[in-house]
Amino acid sequence: MKQQAASRYCRCGTRLARDNAGSLCASCQAKARDLVIRPPEAPAEFWTTDQMSDALGRNCQYLWIGVSRGLLITS
């Protein structure tokens, strides 16, 4: 008499396939992967705050210094 393995479930409630050795369903795996490989979503206002303007200004200054000193030019 064969014993049936107990069903396993993803955190979202989806029953996991028997051949899925992990703990997440395909949908949750894709969402988890997207969190790692895609940039975070930010509202348009995020880029126009004074803090962002100051930070970008500093970084552009460093970029310009690097370019003017030939540090960032590769050929």
Q: How many residues bind Zn ion (CB under 5 A)?
A: 5
Q: CB-wise, 2 or 11, nearer to Zn ion?
A: 11
- Which of 3, 8, 15, 28 contacts Zn ion by CB under 5 A? 28
CB 48 within 8 A of CB 61: no
Our finding on whether 60 is near Zn ion (CB under 5 A) is no
Query: What separation in angstroms does the CA of 39 have from each of 2, 36, 65?
Result: 48, 8, 27
Length in residues, the chain: 75
Q: Tell me if 23 contacts Zn ion by CB under 5 A.
A: no
Least CB distance to Zn ion at residue 28 (A) = 3
Q: Kind and range of the H or E element at 75?
A: none
With CB under 5 A as the contact rule, the residue among 8, 9, 12, 18 that binds Zn ion is 12
The phi, psi pair for 15, rounded to 5°, reads: -70, 130
Residues that bind Zn ion (CB under 5 A): 10, 12, 14, 25, 28
